A and B are shown apart, each in its own frame.
Chain A
């Protein structure tokens, strides 16, 4: 009985689509939020940006993370709307070709992913800024005296010192990618067809729309297995780099 549910899940034709979508979300979020977000934090903590603007930009970038996922989702259904939406109107103003965005089965999931990058990159940036602020000043001064430039200091001192925080950010981003639910629910609902389906939404739909608690439970276990395994691997990898 239980094994049957697993068989049903793995042989479901939506399964590869949602696995692909969750992985795409995960990879892009790691590159943009964790990768670029960290670089942005380094820029904000370097001396290039004036002191007053530092905290201004940092707070500004953080604002989208304070808006609920539902509100952001609904806002972006308007922004991506093909006729009246912000993006297509902007494209038309510059006489560029327009697209169907959320209504296009090839683009839909990437529109949702782009929206999340807009919302959460500033979040990671803030967390990394906080970690970089805790790096002892004497280390940086000593390195500067030894002739290390800003990039060298960032790579050899700031990032290693903020490694714990970077690890936490990475784990939470990865786990978030496999828990993904509200963003898709509020924008495409998994459509068009099942093209933007993800595991979290699939679980919800199986349990509360199709009354298939078995399938939902199995999906939940699968999500849990992925997130726990990835966390353990990440912690191991970072630990082994340490000594």
Chain B
């Protein structure tokens, strides 16, 4: 009897927490489909006519440009992060080169360095290199800042792969690069998926660097774009809300599609971004 009560209470707790998580998002979604008058009259009521036009308006008012920039920056950064980190992590786990421990310590040290501390020096470096206010001004720092954590995750996974697999491939005459691309990558899909989501989450949502290193409106990514967007629209609240929903949707949808692989990759030896 007591066990049943505890059971019900814990289940109830989970449901209540679920409501707390969903309610603000549902309220934003609801009001993004109203007219501004309806929003001001009663923000809890349903709209008379669902205003899907708000989404079209938000998209055409400039969100598409921020979206495109984010897509471009994210794809290039993500590719850079995954390629360099997987090579480095594989090398660190398989080759006993002189100083490989030092390399690993430097990489781990990179995790302790926060963006804030590097902000002013990086700003000066980017200016000196004349790439301030270009896509490269955010892409290069993103790659550099994400390598440590990604290497950390991938290394743990690669260590767990039994060496017999590779020994067989050596007998078949594969070189290291072939072993890596033909054997290691296919069986490491879960960790690649986890690293991709964790890093995409960072790059897609990054604000500090993008805010400081990109001045030109035409180059801004979504997080900065949203601030500009809200400033431009001022009292057109419902369109702003529609823009917020558009900006948030891609990662949520991607996560829903990939959540199983994501969790599996994390379970196989990992922590947090």
Contact = CB atoms under 8 A, between A and B. Distances in A.
Interface of A: 40, 43-44, 46, 48-49, 53, 55, 57-71, 74-76, 78-79, 83-86, 89-90, 93, 118, 122-123, 126-127, 129-130, 133-134, 165, 168-169, 172, 175, 179, 181-182, 185-186, 200, 203-204, 207-208, 213, 216-217, 220-221, 223-224, 227-228, 231
B216 interface: no
Contacts of A228: 112
Given A185-B211, A228-B112, 17 more contacts: A48-B10, A59-B256, A60-B22, A63-B21, A68-B222, A71-B226, A71-B247, A79-B24, A79-B27, A123-B272, A129-B263, A130-B266, A168-B272, A203-B116, A216-B119, A216-B120, A220-B120
A48 B112 contact: no
Size class of the B contact interface (CB-based, 8 Å): 35 or more
B42 interface: yes
A204 B212 contact: yes
Contacts of A63: 21, 25, 252, 255
28 contacts: A48-B10, A61-B21, A63-B25, A64-B21, A66-B248, A66-B252, A66-B255, A67-B252, A68-B204, A68-B226, A68-B248, A70-B205, A70-B223, A70-B224, A74-B227, A75-B28, A76-B24, A79-B24, A86-B24, A127-B271, A179-B116, A185-B211, A186-B227, A203-B116, A213-B120, A216-B119, A220-B116, A221-B117
Q: Which 9 A-B pairs have the closest CB atoms?
A: A68-B205, A70-B223, A182-B207, A66-B251, A67-B248, A86-B27, A130-B266, A168-B271, A224-B117
Chain B contact residues: helix, strand, loop or mixed = helix
Interface in B113-140: 114-117, 119-120, 123
Of B7, B17, B25, B123, most buried by chain A (CB within 10 Å of CB) is B17
B35 interface: no
Interface string B211-237: 110000000001110110010000001
Interface of B: 6-7, 10-11, 13-14, 17-18, 20-25, 27-28, 31, 39-40, 42-44, 112, 114-117, 119-120, 123, 201, 204-205, 207-208, 211-212, 222-224, 226-227, 230, 237, 240-241, 244, 247-248, 251-252, 255-256, 259, 263, 266-267, 270-272
A222 B6 CA distance: 47
Nearest to B272: A127
B251 A200 contact: no
Given A84-B39, A86-B27, A118-B20, A57 B208 contact: no
Contacts of A165: 271
Contacts of B120: 207, 213, 216-217, 220
Contacts of A69: 205, 207, 223
Contacts of A53: 11, 14
A69 B255 CA distance: 17
